[in-house]
Amino acid sequence: MSTVTEIQEAIVNLTSTEREELLRWLEHFEEDDWDRQISADAASGKLDFLVKEAANAKRYGTLKPLPREVKDNT
């Protein structure tokens, strides 16, 4: 399978269980891709401004706590 059309045609023929398995795999694939991109951005210094913003907010007493849902996912 080398084209999107061929992949789409193959997906149509999957059972519902196989589609669920594929969806779980795609979700993890996207998460891994996102993690790789964040790591690369951090290593290259693209995210340094966020550290500076947080340090300044802490220094000036304007740093806000993370929302509960963010804390729960770390």
The helix (H) or strand (E) run that includes residue 68 is helix 68-72
Task: Return per-residue pLDDT of the chain as tens, 74 residues.
Answer: 579 999 999 999 999 999 999 999 998 888 888 899 999 999 999 999 999 999 999 999 999 888 877 666 65
Classify the C-alpha dihedral 56-62-63-66 as positive or negative: negative
Instruction: Supply the pTM of this predicted model.
Output: 0.48
Domain definitions of the chain by residue range: 4-72
Q: Are 1 and 7 in contact (CB under 8 A)?
A: yes
Q: What's the number of CA atoms in the CB half-sphere (13 Å) around residue 9?
A: 6
